[in-house]
Structure 1
Amino acid sequence: MCGRYSLAGPSPAELRERFPLGESVELRRRFNVCPGDDVATVTTDREGAPRGELLRWGLVPHWAKDPSTGFKMINARAETVAEKPAYRDALRTHRCLVVADGFYEWQARPGRPKLPWHATRADHAPFAFAGLWSTWRGPDGEELRTCTIVTTQANSVLREVHDRMPVMLPGPDAEQAWLDHGTPAPVLQELLAPLPDAMTSRRAVGPAVSDARYDGPECLADAIDAEEQASLF
């Protein structure tokens, strides 16, 4: 699964140059993005033109009774996304890019606390998760636009940490194909693959990221440094 990620490195100007986010989307450094947060995405309008948009992380299908459903739908499995009622319509017409520069996963260690890892591209460049989005309208007319991140089997770089990883689209061509309304279903499925090993990097980080309330640079502190500091107290 993917339950936390970061967008901490690039400046807003760099992100706007790299992705078609436009000028109206508020961008700020995020070290610990959590479910329920408003996140930077690229969606498309009815004509297929890309547009930047803030969406709440945790997809709420249009038929849901209330928005709390979204906390159960932060991820969609690539293997079943075309079949599940919550995702199959979005896969056809509501695909999006979720902009990030890394994500976190926790490795189980017998007899010890779980160890958080920060996974990135090997070149540490920003990238996009393959996402889906939806619009939910409440009985009083309120409108909520939400998204989910598609996950797939982990590549060999990350497999010992966790058996799943988010779909990190490898570059602009894949991102354009994911957004394009005319991309055939078999091609979409091919895009939902693990990032190649050679393009993937990981680094153990300290315990700060495990607190969902904290969104500061200590989330990216090296694990060794963090453990050394903790031993002083």
Structure 2
Amino acid sequence: MCSNYDPVLNAATLRQHFGVEPPPADLKPRLWPGYIGPFIRKHENVDVGDEAVPFRELMAGSFGLIPHWAKDTKIARKTYNARSETVHEKPSYRDAWRLGRHCIIPAEAIFEPDWRSGKAVPTRIIRADGKPMGIAGLWTGWKQPDGEILRSYTMLTVNADDHPFMRNFHKPDDEKRMVVILQDEEYDAWLSASADESRFFLRQFPTELMTFSE
């Protein structure tokens, strides 16, 4: 599970690794559920036949999915991670899953609690190759009281009980989970995948490509 992460905000990094322009608004360098962060989706006009329209676009939205039926944004505090095993049936996520509203969350690092000492030690986790993470997620839109649409997103997770690296995190008796980190070459395929095709991408990231950061 991941409730705290550092988003990619550097314009050059976003262009080089994700092929998108940076968001227009100033965003916080460390995010928690309910904060506004960047996510990448398939451009809403990419299928109109205009070659000038890029395949991907970067949006700003709430970290924590806010389904269309929510009464307010408080639900984002509970919907920042979606279990891949049940995402298709849970009320908060099932519409976004069914509609194939896939997104990529660009992250410099994620934070998880290391309990091996008997106490929770916040640990910054990065890719060992120095590249940013592209985390698989879902996005949606919620109509605010003023009529404006607030976009939001969630990170997809998989079981990590047998993952040599990620099984070191969270309380000893808790199930081990990890976010789905996509391979770089999978970005466009993930954004285009239908609900039926989505399961292929929901797997553990290789242990040798993950490490700690000071």
Short-chain TM bin = 0.7 to 0.9
Higher helix share: 1
CA contact (8 A) 2:67 2:141 kept: yes
TM-score, normalisation: structure 2: 0.82
CA contact (8 A) 1:20 1:52 kept: no
TM-score, normalisation: structure 1: 0.76
Tell me which residue corresponds to 1:158. Answer: 166
Alignment RMSD, CA only? 2.2
Establish whether residue 58 from structure 1 lines up as the match of residue 30 from structure 2. Answer: no
1:6 partner SS: strand
Q: Deviations over 1:166-200 (max 9, x none)?
A: 111121x21111101xx243431121111011222
Establish whether residue 4 from structure 1 lines up as the match of residue 11 from structure 2. Answer: no
1:76 partner SS: strand
The one-letter amino acid of 2:179's match is P
Distance in 2, matches of 1:127 and 1:102, equals: 7
Establish whether residue 167 from structure 1 lines up as the match of residue 180 from structure 2. Answer: yes
CA contact (8 A) 2:35 2:62 kept: yes
Establish whether residue 104 from structure 1 lines up as the match of residue 116 from structure 2. Answer: no
Establish whether residue 46 from structure 1 lines up as the match of residue 38 from structure 2. Answer: no
1:21 partner SS: coil
Distance in 1, matches of 2:6 and 2:22, equals: 21
The one-letter amino acid of 2:17's match is R
1:61 partner SS: coil
Q: Deviations over 1:93-125 (max 9, x none)?
A: 311111102101012356x53112111111121
CA contact (8 A) 2:23 2:38 kept: no
CA contact (8 A) 1:6 1:33 kept: yes
Unaligned runs of at least 5 residues, structure 1:
204-221, 223-233
Tell me which residue corresponds to 2:91. Answer: 85
Deviation at 1:78, TM superposition (A): 0.9
1:70 to 73, 76, 91: 76
The one-letter amino acid of 1:161's match is F
Deviation at 1:20, TM superposition (A): 2.9
Tell me which residue corresponds to 2:197. Answer: 187
The one-letter amino acid of 1:17's match is Q
CA gap of 1:24–1:129, structure 2 versus 1, over 3 A, is closer
Deviation at 1:76, TM superposition (A): 0.5
Unaligned runs of at least 5 residues, structure 2:
47-54, 171-175
The one-letter amino acid of 1:199's match is L
1:94 to 101, 108, 111: 101
CA gap of 1:55–1:28, structure 2 versus 1, over 3 A, is closer
1:189 partner SS: helix
CA contact (8 A) 1:95 1:132 kept: yes
Runs of 4+ in 1 over 4 A off after TM superposition: 26-29
CA contact (8 A) 1:104 1:119 kept: yes
Tell me which residue corresponds to 1:130. Answer: 136
Percent identity among equivalent residues? 33
Q: Which protein is bigger by CA-based radius of gyration?
A: 1
Deviation at 1:26, TM superposition (A): 4.4
